[in-house]
Each structure stands twice: as structure tokens, then as C-alpha cells.
Structure 1
Amino acid sequence: MKILKEFTIILLIIFFSDTLSKTFSLPLPGSIIGMLLLLGLLLLKIVKVETLKTSSTYMLDNLAFFFLPAGVGIISSFDLLKGNTIKIIVIIIISTLVVLLVTGYTVQGLIALKNKRNMGKYNS
């Protein structure tokens, strides 16, 4: 019964965010709005992490399964992609490098911030 409650919460957030995106013609897709909404609910402790732990662990353990529809979509659209192979490869390489750089700088910044906070503790 706990899993049903957890999935209901997640599905309600997905439904609300998708409806919000389509109703107001927002430039962000409903999935992104839903993630931001869930993040806000978790940060404000309206929804506790423990409340969604079982279902989120299950979904993360089976994450590869959720990529199957996207893979099938790519294969079924192969004719559209055939003429743009080089463009797609360039976009993949550039976006991968951007993600690596942003992630690296973010982690370095967070480590520096953590070290700065730890130094403040020891100097007090």
C-alpha cells in the first residue's frame, strides 16, 4: 500500500506539472516543471524524502527500462536522422563537453564552499 501512495504522489505531481505547462503554454516541458516542483516540495519539507524512498529506489534500479521508448522512437525515426548524422554527432560531442565542464566546475565550487565552511568551524 505504501508503494501505491508513493506512486500516486509522483503521478499527481507529473499530472499537475504537465497540465500547468500545456494550460499556460510555458516554454518548459511538464517533466522539467515537475522535477522543479518536486524539488521545491522536498526543500520545503512538504514532501519528505522517506515518503518517496521505496518507489524512487525502484525506479532508479530499473532506469534502463525507462529509456526503451526513447530508443524505439529513435530507431523508428531513423530516416529523419540519416541526413543529419554529422550535425548530430557534433551536437552530442559539444553538449557532452558542456555537461562535463559545468559538472566539474560545480563540484569544484561545492568542494571549495565546503572547505570554506569547515575552516570557519575550526577557526571559531
Structure 2
Amino acid sequence: MKVLTLFVQILFFILIFFVGQQISQSLNLPIPGSIVGFGLLFLLLHLKVIKLNWVERAGNLLVGELLLFFIPAVVGLINYGDVLKSFGLQILIVITISTIVVMALTGMMAESISKRKEVSNE
């Protein structure tokens, strides 16, 4: 039964992805359909149209195996050896700076949420 539940939850994520793709294409949005799908999933969860436990197991599994989703992209870099030779240092600098910015903003958001929870618990 657990495998079937997990399978259905993953199918739901795939459905959300395809709906996001359709919305993005239909409205000619400059945003990828996967991002629209994420926004749609967030909206459905926030408005309590769907419950977190309906998708939580599959979400945890997919996040746990997230590294596997990057392998095809990294292998694809082999085709761009010339680009990496020419712009490798610049790309590395941009990746480093953007990683630091994301980490700092994530820390600030986590701190802000933690302070809000402390205030609401008082």
C-alpha cells in the first residue's frame, strides 16, 4: 500500500508539472512550466486545496534523491568543453557568488520565520 501511495503522489507531481507547462505555453510566459507548476503546488498547499500529507512522502523521496536529477545536466557539459575553457572562471565566480547570496537569504528567511514563531508562542 505504501508503494502505491508513493506512486500516486509522484504521479500528482507529474500532473502538476504538465499543468504548469500548459499554463506557461498557453499564456506565452517567459517562465518555465516547471516553475509555474511549483507556484501552482505552493498555491494549492497554501490555500489548503490539497493537504501536505497527500504529497509529503513523494516530496521527501524526490528531495532525498535530488542529486540524481543533476547527473544528466553535468554529463551534458562534456559537449561544451570549448565554452568551459573560455568562460570557466567567470562561470565559477557567478556560481560561487549566487550560492553565497542564496545561502545568506535562506539564513535570513529562516531566522525571520523563527523569530515570528517565538513571538507568536509568547
TM-score by length of 2: 0.83
Aligned partner letter, 2:49: I
Range moving further from structure 2, 19-28 or 50-59: 50-59
Counterpart CA distance in 1 for 2:117 and 2:56 is: 27
1:25 CA displacement: 1.8
CA pair 27-54 structure 1, distance change in 2 beyond 3 A: same
Q: Percent identity?
A: 34
Q: Deviations over 1:6-34 (max 9, x none)?
A: 22211111001012112222121111111
Q: Which residue of 1 aligns with 2:101?
A: 98
For the pair 1:25 / 2:28, whether they are aligned, the reply is yes
The structure with the largest alpha-carbon Rg is 1
Question: Which residue is 1:49 aligned to?
Answer: 52
Distance 1:54 1:101, change over 3 A: closer
The count of residues paired between Structure 1 and Structure 2 equals 119
Superposition RMSD in Å = 1.7
TM-score computed with the length of structure 1 as normaliser: 0.82
For structure 2, which runs of at least 5 residues remain unmatched after alignment? none
| Stretches of 4+ aligned residues off by more than 3 angstroms | none
Would you say 1:83 and 2:86 are equivalent positions? yes
Match of residue 6 from structure 1: 9
